[in-house]
Amino acid sequence: MIDFEQHPVVQQTGMMIKQMAENLMRPVSHEMDEQEHAEPAQYVTFMWEVMKSQMGSGAVTQFTGGGRKKEKDDPNAPKTPGFGNVLGAVSIEMMSWGDAGIYLTTPVAGLGGAAVSAAGTPEQKERFLKRFSEGEPKWGAMAITEPSCGSDSAAITTTAHLDGDEWVINGHKIFVTAGKRAVVDSKGFVVVWATVDKKAGRAGIKSFVVEAGTPGMTMLALEKKHGIRASDTAQLVFENCRVPRNNLLGSEEVDLNKGFKGVMATFDATRPAVAASAIGIGRAALEFIEEEFEKRGIKPRYGTSPAKLTVRERDLMEMEANLKAAWLLTLRAAWMSDNKKHNNLEASICKAKAGLAVTQITQKAVELMGPLGYSRELLLEKWMRDAKINDIFEGTQQINMLIIARRILGYTREQLK
């Protein structure tokens, strides 16, 4: 049974990250928002040292997929459940509480690392992730979306064909989070989704690791965004880009019965991470509103009949309830992953709930503060802009609701579109 009592390590880590967020993220939040794509150098330097020290704990893959290690001095000790994903959720929440855009500049393997962890072989994990404990700051990225392909990842047109011992990739990818930092600013990598057999449809989609500096991979442009402006979001072009045969994650076999479950498994880890980030933004907005209202003598009277509450009290209680529900769903999905339980449904549920809840919470927070909430004097309007992306990337609200419906009702993709 899931236990909501957090491990002492998780509690302590959350407190330390919140202190870091107060000192390194909040003070430059406005500045980084105004100077889109600028690097928060002090934060990156600090976090790179932290990430290197955490190599192997799961933090290196954007705080996902980790867990407690078996004690080296007692190889016969019984295995105990890990808490790497729960730790990751708490860490991401606190960093996003500080600033969601700056959090996305953290030098880690990121979404690309999550893909390697989910679908890669032990040799691939060692080869591609070990670099995140050495040298200068590095980033990883994942390239899925295309100009003509968004939510329906099965419609990918980027191709990869085998030529001897190399895969040749051709295509155009957009909205690649950390794309510039991964392939231009560091010796990182990007995981590219491409089809090896168009006739096979979804079953022909595979993921490939393309390392920084690989000929044929070019950054075309950086996107200008509504929110999370500190995060670089790039367009990448692949023209006869050749990668080693063993850079394909998972099996080369095109299995029509399995579809592309291997590459999609990445989302089981990354969707709870996105939900945690959303919750961090929502918590920042809610805490600010509660503090401001308390200064004015407005504090929810819990246990009072709803008919006797003011509109503001009901608004605050609803915001609190939505945030708590989203957080508990996120912890559940992370806990299941730590305990090796299939969490495809739960990952989509927490992502859908968090994206919707935090969009509503931040909009209500701006509304409750009136004109001041809409001004750039406060961070509220920024939090509202930052929140919306969590309802879009890693599967839009609509896509996740479809996944949830299919899993609960037992329908296939063809039966419920």
- Dihedrals φ, ψ of 168, to 5°? -110, 120
Q: In the chain, where does the domain assigned CATH 1.20.140.10 lie? A: 263-409
SS3 letters across the chain? CCCCCCCHHHHHHHHHHHHHHHHHHHHHHHHHHHCCCCCCHHHHHHHHHHHHHCCCCCHHHCCCCCCCCCCCCCCCCCCCCCCHHHHHHHHHHHHHHHHHHHHCCCCCCHHHHHHHHHHCCHHHHHHHHHHHHCCCCCCEEEECCECCECCCHHHCCCEEEEECCEEEEEEEEEEEECHHHHHCCCCCEEEEEEECCHHHHHHHEEEEEEECCCCCEEEEEECCCCCCCCCCEEEEEEEEEEEEHHHEECCCCCCCCCCCHHHHCHHHHHHHHHHHHHHHHHHHHHHHHHHHHHHCCCCCCCCCCHHHCCHHHHHHHHHHHHHHHHHHHHHHHHHHHHCCCCCHHHHHHHHHHHHHHHHHHHHHHHHHCCHHHHCCCCCHHHHHHHHHHHHCCCCCHHHHHHHHHHHHHCCCCCCCC
Residue 365, pLDDT score: 97
Residue 367, pLDDT score: 95
More confident: 22 or 152: 22
Q: How far is CA 158 from CA 20, 118, 151, 258, in A?
A: 40, 21, 15, 21
What distance in Å separates the CA atoms of residue 39 and residue 19, rounded to the nearest whole number?
20
Model pTM above 0.85? yes
pLDDT tens, position by position, 286-343: 999 999 999 988 888 998 888 888 899 999 999 999 999 999 999 999 999 888 898 9
Residue 72, pLDDT score: 41
pLDDT tens, position by position, 23-43: 999 999 999 999 999 999 999
Q: Which CATH architecture has domain 140-254?
A: Beta Barrel (2.40)
- Name the residues annotated as catalytic: 394
CA torsion angle 362 368 371 374 (round to 10): 0
Residue 412, pLDDT score: 79
What distance in Å separates the CA atoms of residue 356 and residue 370, rounded to the nearest whole number?
22
For the chain, percent of residues with pLDDT exceeding 70: 90
Q: Which CATH number describes the domain made up of 8-133?
A: 1.10.540.10
Residue 261, pLDDT above cutoff 80: no
pLDDT tens, position by position, 50-70: 887 776 444 444 444 343 333
Residue 71, pLDDT score: 37
- Dihedrals φ, ψ of 126, to 5°? -65, -45
Residue 326, pLDDT score: 97
Nearest by Cα to 406 from 251, 306, 264, 245 = 264
pLDDT tens, position by position, 351-385: 999 999 999 999 999 999 999 999 999 999 999 99
Superfamily of domain 263-409: Butyryl-CoA Dehydrogenase, subunit A, domain 3 (1.20.140.10)
Residue 258, pLDDT above cutoff 70: no
Nearest by Cα to 270 from 397, 118, 51 = 118
Q: In the chain, where does the domain assigned CATH 2.40.110.10 lie? A: 140-254
Say if residues 91 and 99 touch (Cβ distance below 8 Å).
no
Say if residues 284 and 95 touch (Cβ distance below 8 Å).
no
Which of the four pLDDT bands, split at 50, 70 and 90, describes residue 119? confident
